[in-house]
Amino acid sequence: MPLNQEQLYQALVGRGAITVQQFEQVVKTREAQEIGIGETLVAHGVISEQQYGQLLAWWYKVPYFDFGKEKVDLDVLDFVPEVFAREHKIIPVQKTDDSIVVVTNEPLELPLRSLLEKYLRKKVSFVFSTKRNILNHFFLFQRDPKKVIDKILQHQPGRNEIDTSAIDVVDALIGFAFQTGASDIHFEPEETRSVVRFRTDGLLHDIVDLPKEIHEAVILRLKVIACLPTDEHLKAQDGKIFYKTTWSNSVDIRLSIIPTTHAEKAVLRLMADNNRSFSLNDLGLQTEDFRKISSVIHQPWGMLLITGPTGSGKSTSLYSILKILNERDVNITSIEDPVEYDMEGVNQIQVNEKTGLTFAKGLRSIVRQDPDIIMVGEIRDQETAEISLNAAMTGHLLLSTFHTNDAATAFPRLVDMGLENYLVASTVNAIVAQRLVRHVCMNCIQSKFLTKTEEVLINELPMVKDELLRISGKKELSEIRFFAGKGCHICCETGYKGRVGIFEILVVDDQIREAIITKQPAEKIKEIAVKNGMTTMLNDGLQKAVVGLTTADEVLKASRNGF
C-alpha cells in the first residue's frame, strides 16, 4: 500500500529532506489531491525524484534502484510478460543463479512477490523505484519494430487482408512510438515503397519500409480514425485522433496529410499522457535558476516571457509553470494556437483565424473574464504585444513565448514592435531563454576526452574555450574529461536518451530597467545581467556537459544556433 499522509510526513520531514512549511503548502493544493503529495513535491521542485525515491526506499527498508546508474539485464525482461508487468507496475532488471531482482513501487506487496516466485520458480527480491520512474522505463520492453511489421506483412494479402494489415501496422507503430518516446511519426511515400520515420529527441530516424499498397491502406485507416473524408486525395487535411494503446494509455494525436507526387504523406504528432508530467524539476534547471523562476511566477502581476526557436521546449516550460500556479483560488485562462495539452482547471481557448478569433481579439475578451493569470501561446505581432503588456500592467500575471536568440535581445525586440521602453522596463519581470540538447544515455555512458578536431573547433570559439577552462578548473582543453554514450539497445545505438534544457534567466532589476529605459543595446543588457549573477545558456550547457548530462558536441551545436 502507498504511504499515507502521516507516513510521508515522517519519511520526508522527519528525515529533514523538506520543511514542515513546504509539506503543509503542498498538502493543501489541488494537485496533491489528484496525483499525490510526494509526486506534487517533486513536480514543484521541492525535492528531486531521486531524493524522493531514496527516502521512500529507506522507509520501506529495501534498496533503491536508480535506472540512470544501474545496469538493466535486458534478457531478464523476457521472464515476465509485458502486459503483466504494466498491470502491476514492475520491471525485472537483474538475475542471479537462483533469484530475480524486480523493481516495484510497492515492495511490501507480499501476494505479488508470492505470485512472481510461483511463476518464475525463483526467489524474487524487490527493490524500490518511484511509480513515475517505473512508468518511464517500460520502453525497455520494446521490440524491434521491423520484425513486428514483417510478421504482420508476411503473407501476400488480398484486399481485405491489406485493410486488416493496415490496422495492425498503425497500432504497432503508434504503440512503438509511444514506448520509445517519439514525438512524431512520418509516413513518407516514394515510388515503390513508403518509409516510416520517428522523430526521437529532436532527430528523425528511419524505422521500417512499407509496401506501396500498404501505405495507401494506412493513409485510409488514419483518415477513418481521424474522421476525415476518405475520398479526398488532392487537398491537405488536418485532424485529431484520440487513441488508446494496448495498455490503456491515452495518446492525443494531431494528424496532418498532404498530397505529394507519389501519394499522400502523413505526419502524426503524439502528445501522450506519459509526457504530461510538466515538472520544472525535469526541465534541467540549476538550483539557483529554479529559485529565480519560482520567485518570479509567484509575483501577483507582471510579464514572464520564454524565448527560443521552434522546438526548444517553450510550451513545455509554460505548462510546467501553469501546473504549479493552478490552484482553486485563482482563475487561469490561456489562448493558444494550438492547444497542445488539456489542463484541468485552466480555461483554454483555441485560436481560430476562420472565425476571427485571433490572439489579440481573444486576449481582449480574456481580460474581461476576471483572470488572475493569463497565458498567451505566442506574442507574434504589435497588437498582441500591446494588449499583453497592458494586461500585465493592470494586475495580472501574464506568461507567453517570444522568438529571440537570447534573453537580453527580447527587450529591444519588444521596443522595435512599438512598445514604449519605459512600459517594457516596468512590466516585464523576467525573460527565460532556452534550448534543448540531447541527454547522454545513462545505460551506456562512458568518459571521453576531446578529439583533436573538437579541440580545433573550440579554439576557434574563444568564449566557449574560456568558459570550459573556468568551469572545469583545468589549464588545457586536453585535460578536461567529458562523457558520451557508447550506443546500446536502450538508446537505439545513438548514445542519447531524452533531452534536457539549457537556460538563461534574466530577472529584471533596477539596473536592467535603467538600461531598457535608456535604450541600451542587448549586449549591454546581457553584460549587466551576467555581472548581477545571470548564468548564460552557453555556461549552463557547458556545466551540464562537464558533469555528463549532455555532450560538448550537443552544446556546440546549440551555440551555433545563436548564443
pLDDT reading at 2 higher than 80: no
Among 77-81, 88-92, 432-436, the range scoring the smallest mean pLDDT is: 77-81
> How far is Cα of residue 214 from the mean position of the Cα atoms in its chain?
33
Distance, in Å, from the CA atom of 147 to the CA atom of 504, rounded to the nearest integer, reads 44
β-partners of residue 270 are: 253
Assess contact for 439 and 549: CB atoms under 8 A.
Answer: yes
Task: Pick the closest to residue 366 from 342, 385, 347 (CA basis).
Answer: 347
What is the helix (H) or strand (E) element at residue 242, kind and residue range? Answer: strand 237-244
Distance, in Å, from the CA atom of 102 to the CA atom of 95, rounded to the nearest integer, reads 9
pLDDT per residue over 314-340, tens digit each? Answer: 988 999 899 889 888 899 999 998 888
3-state secondary structure 252-280: EEEEEEEECCCCEEEEEEEEEHHHCCCCH
Among 6-20, 23-37, 316-330, 460-474, the range scoring the smallest mean pLDDT is: 23-37
pLDDT per residue over 458-474, tens digit each? Answer: 888 888 888 889 888 89
DSSP 105: S
Predicted confidence band of residue 114 (pLDDT cuts 50, 70, 90): very high
Residue 551 grid coordinates: 555532450
Q: Which domains does the chain have, with CATH numbers?
A: 5-138 (3.30.300.160), 142-274 (3.30.450.90), 280-559 (3.40.50.300)
Distance, in Å, from the CA atom of 72 to the CA atom of 59, rounded to the nearest integer, reads 24
Residue 91: per-residue pLDDT: 95
Helix (H, G, I), strand (E, B) or coil at 323: helix
Strand ranges across the sheet with 332-336: 346-350, 332-336, 373-376, 397-402, 302-307, 428-440, 496-507
* Whole-prediction pTM: 0.79
215 burial class (0-12, 13-18, 19+ CB within 10 angstroms)?
buried
Q: What is the DSSP string of 446-473?
A: EEE---HHHHHHHHT-HHHHHHHHHHHT
The dihedrals phi and psi of 443, each to the nearest 5 degrees, come to -80, -30
Assess contact for 74 and 489: CB atoms under 8 A.
Answer: yes
> How far is Cα of residue 455 from the mean position of the Cα atoms in its chain?
31
Burial annotation 79-92 (CB, 10 A radius, 16+ → b, else e): bbebeebbebbbbb
Residue 274: per-residue pLDDT: 47
pLDDT reading at 275 higher than 80: no
Residue 354: per-residue pLDDT: 84
> How far is Cα of residue 72 from the mean position of the Cα atoms in its chain?
24
Distance, in Å, from the CA atom of 505 to the CA atom of 292, rounded to the nearest integer, reads 8
pLDDT reading at 279 higher than 80: no
pLDDT reading at 390 higher than 80: yes
34 burial class (0-12, 13-18, 19+ CB within 10 angstroms)?
exposed
Q: Is 194 left (phi over 0), alpha (psi -120 to 50) or beta?
A: beta
pLDDT per residue over 499-523, tens digit each? Answer: 999 999 999 999 999 999 999 999 9
Residue 524 grid coordinates: 549591454
Q: Give me the sign of the Cα torsion angle 343, 344, 347, 349.
A: positive
pLDDT per residue over 152-166, tens digit each? Answer: 888 655 656 667 889
Indicate the average pLDDT of the chain.
88
Q: How many CB atoms lie within 10 A of CB 470?
A: 11
Helix (H, G, I), strand (E, B) or coil at 483: strand
Assess contact for 74 and 137: CB atoms under 8 A.
Answer: no
Predicted confidence band of residue 46 (pLDDT cuts 50, 70, 90): confident
How large is the average pLDDT for residues 246-254?
77
Residue 396: per-residue pLDDT: 95
Assess contact for 401 and 318: CB atoms under 8 A.
Answer: yes
Predicted confidence band of residue 31 (pLDDT cuts 50, 70, 90): confident
Assess contact for 433 and 503: CB atoms under 8 A.
Answer: yes
Task: Pick the closest to residue 108 from 215, 7, 210 (CA basis).
Answer: 7
pLDDT reading at 283 higher than 90: no
Residue 241 grid coordinates: 485522433
Task: Pick the closest to residue 129 from 82, 62, 77 (CA basis).
Answer: 62
Predicted confidence band of residue 272 (pLDDT cuts 50, 70, 90): low
Distance, in Å, from the CA atom of 457 to the CA atom of 557, rounded to the nearest integer, reads 11
How large is the average pLDDT for residues 32-54?
82
